[in-house]
Amino acid sequence: MREIKHWLDGQAVSGTSGRQLPVWDPATGEQQAYVVAATKAETERAVASALATFPEWRAASLSRRAEVMFRFRELVDANRKEIATLVSQEHGKTVADAGGELARGLENIEFATGAPHLLKGGYSEQASTGVDVYSIRQPLGVVAGITPFNFPAMVPMWMFCNALVCGNTFVLKPSEKDPSVSLLLADLLRQAGLPDGAFNVVQGDREAVDTLIEHPDVQALSFVGSTPIARHVYEAGTRAGKRVQALGGAKNHMVVLPDADVEAAADAAVSAGYGSAGERCMAVSVVVAVGTIADPLVAAISERIGRIAVGPASDPAAEMGPLISREHRDRVAGYLADPGTAEVVVDGRDAPVSSGPGFFLGASLVDKVSTDSPLYKDEIFGPVLSVVRAETYDDAVQLVNDNEFGNGTAIFTRDGGAARRFQYDVVCGMVGVNVPIPVPVAYYSFGGWKSSLFGDLHMYGPEGIQFYTRSKVVTSRWPDPATSQVDLGFPKVR
């Protein structure tokens, strides 16, 4: 059985704890590899390596840091197929979908190549007589990223591209469920010219995460994962005096107004509800059907479900793969076994693929879901789409705003005024207008509201640069010694 190793000081290193965590092949249900969970000492070694490299990397010129990102971009681009295949093998998503994840990751590298421009400070000449004031942004030091299983290539890139180009050094704790791609990215960074020790990977679980949270040499933590863990990382990290951004779970509503094009709305709901088997933090999990559109919309969605090809990523015809683990598949299927007062329109458990050894569950549709049921309240994170019926636009917006989560939401309508009103009214971090998965491009920033994000700054883009740097303001004068005098008054500006 293959060990997926740590990456320390520029090379792959075996784990020593003996505590093996399995890496499954979700399409066959068999174990394909394992990681050895990092101990406190191994995690500390990663931080020490990053700390030792920080002075050298911080001193690298802006153009050199940007050049490493340019080279890294070329290497990732040249290895797209290999990276996407590796993601599919461990995650289970189709190779095309993994390629889409990578394309969005590449955007983040491209954004980071612009760091010399983004790190420019401000300069005020003659702020007072003979006095100039200017601001600069400096890196924090060692920063850490803790990432979820569902985007094993893209989410780490959300973090480390900006962190590194700003002059920080990085420790990544990827998901233990699909960890291989983190090593491939580490090797490509090395080939791109990043000094050994500037990027380290520790495989593992809570022990490694808690070590990073408590470690006095880790200045900042970026986390993406489920809400309970995001809350824990935020609370413990800030208590330890760190800067923290912790992105949590989601329950994304797609509001469909009566004037929307039913066919286009059904296409969008199916694509965003079942893509990657619903294991996306921006997946649509609730369709809010307003007024008379509900019946035709439910019919159009269920008709499309019958045509989704579910199968392993190795089958080029497959459009939807398995879930990440057996436990998760069973948990998701449990919502179909106990739908309460709701109507199960399509039950994915009946799909032939659901009874095989892989972690498959067919696409499922549940109508007339009530807002007090677990189906509505929980983040299901699987191919189960709920339909909630609302009488009016106001009722629909109220639903979105009352929900615990506020990651993404979308409105489908042909009425520009209604769409504009929605964007104004809705309490949510990312909004789509006839766009079901409104993941911002890399030159904006990504983040939800409410229980979908703990912290002040969103991830990647301009707010990512802000997160990974701190500002320093310099007030400077070059006085003529002949005019120098003692003045005990508080400095005045004149």
Return residues touching ligand NAD (CB under 6 A): 146-151, 155, 173, 175-176, 205-206, 209, 224-226, 229, 232, 247-250, 281, 379, 381, 407, 448, 452
Cα dist from 109 to 159, 184, 297, whole Å:
10, 15, 39
Show the DSSP H helices in 196-293 as ranges. Answer: 206-214, 227-239, 262-274
SS3 143: strand
Q: How far is CA 217 from the centre of its chain?
A: 24
Q: Which is nearer to ligand NAD, 28 or 226 (CB)?
A: 226
Distance of closest approach, residue 211 Cβ to ligand NAD, in angstroms? 10
For residues 207 and 52, is the Cβ–Cβ distance under 8 A? no
Rounded to the nearest whole angstrom, what is the least distance from the CB of residue 6 to ligand NAD in the complex?
14
Q: Return left, alpha or beta for 18; rule: phi > 0 is left, psi -120 to 50 is alpha, else beta.
A: left
Distances (CA, A) of 53 to 49, 194, 243, 252, 456: 6, 10, 21, 41, 28
CB of 381 to ligand NAD, least distance (A): 5
In angstroms, give the least distance from the CB of 62 to ligand NAD. 29
From the CB of 460, what's the least distance to ligand NAD, in Å? Answer: 10
The Cα-based distances of 71 to 9, 254, 288, 332 in angstroms read 20, 39, 45, 42
Closer CB to ligand NAD, 88 or 150, in the complex = 150
CB of 428 to ligand NAD, least distance (A): 12
Tell me the residue number closest to ligand NAD, measured at CB. Answer: 225
Report the length, in residues, of the chain. 494
Residue 450: beta bridge partners? Answer: 405
Residue 33: CB atoms within 10 Å: 18
Could you tell me which residues come within 8 angstroms of residue 345 by beta carbon, excluding any fewer than 6 positions away? 298, 302, 365, 366, 367
Smallest gap, in angstroms, from Cβ of residue 163 to ligand NAD? 16
Strand partners, 199: 170
Q: How far is CA 32 from CA 25, 153, 181, 203, in A?
A: 6, 19, 14, 16
Phi, psi dihedral angles at 333 (to 5 degrees): -60, -30
CA gap 445, 225 in Å, rounded: 17
Among residues 53 and 285, whose Cβ is nearest to ligand NAD? 285
Residue with smaller CB distance to ligand NAD, 75 or 247:
247
Closer to ligand NAD by CB, 206 or 239: give it.
206
User: 481 is written with which tokens?
Assistant: 């010694």
Instruction: For residues 95 and 455, give the distance between their C-alpha atoms in angstroms, rounded to a whole number.
Output: 33
**HSE (side-chain half, CA atoms, 13 Å) at 224:** 28
Q: For tokens 């495989």, what's the residue?
A: 203
* CB-based burial label for 217 (10 Å; 0-12, 13-18, 19+): middle
Beta carbon of residue 209, minimum distance to ligand NAD (angstroms, whole number): 4
The verdict on whether 161 is a catalytic residue reads: no
Nearer to ligand NAD, 202 or 344 (CB): 202
* Residue given tokens 């709305």 in the structure block: 265
Cβ closest to ligand NAD, residue 41 vs residue 299 = 41
C-beta of 44 vs 67, nearer to ligand NAD: 44
Shortest separation between residue 352's beta carbon and ligand NAD, angstroms = 27
Query: Considering beta carbons, is residue 95 or 250 the nearer one to ligand NAD?
Result: 250
Centre a 10 Å sphere on the Cβ of residue 291 and count the other Cβ atoms it contains.
Answer: 16
Alpha helices (H) along 33-153: 40-59, 62-78, 80-91, 95-112, 115-118
Compare residues 204 and 311 and give the one whose CB is closer to ligand NAD. 204
Which residue among 161, 166, 281, 428 is the active-site one? 281
Name the residue among 248, 327, 249 with its Cα closest to residue 285.
249
d(CA 112, CA 444): 12
Q: How far is the CB of 204 from ligand NAD (least distance, A)?
A: 7
Q: Which residues are marked as active site?
A: 281
